[in-house]
Amino acid sequence: MIQTKIYATGKRKTAIARIYVKPGTGRISVNGREFENYFPVLALRSTAIKPLVLTGKAQQVDVEVNVRGGGISAQAESIMFGIAKALQIETPDLRTQLKRAGMLTRDARVKERKKYGQPGARKRFQFSKR
């Protein structure tokens, strides 16, 4: 069981989530708001708390989240990654379980930059021979 507050960082695209996990009753707050109010979509809520459900710690810990940047989906995934890292720091035995579920791998895919002289990152202007 967690003795003190544990800190971890989760990232996805440009979203960065700072996670604080401490012993409690299962309360989650995101940017000072209730979890259900911050993520009104059920799919995003379930994505964010996936590590807690998988390890069975959903009712044993309180999670405080500060998240910024990115869209709401990237924020949910960064929270998932951060919670998984915090749980693994607290209980190293959970590492294999979280790793097998793919929650300890940072999804490094980010938007590719637009190149100069072109309309997009990959798109090219139409070729004209004459």
Tokens of 21: 């996990």
From the options 1.20.1440.230, 1.10.10.10, 3.30.230.10, 3.50.50.60, give the CATH code of 6-100: 3.30.230.10
Q: Is the pTM of the predicted complex or chain greater than 0.85?
A: yes
What burial letters (b/e) apply to 36-60, b meaning 16+ CB within 10 Å? eebbeeeebbebbbbbbebbebeee
pLDDT tens digits for 107-124? 999 999 999 999 999 999
Quote helix, strand, coil % in the chain, to nearest 5.
35, 20, 45
pLDDT tens digits for 54-80? 999 999 999 999 999 999 999 999 999
Tokens of 18: 């700072």
User: 33 burial class (0-12, 13-18, 19+ CB within 10 angstroms)?
Assistant: exposed
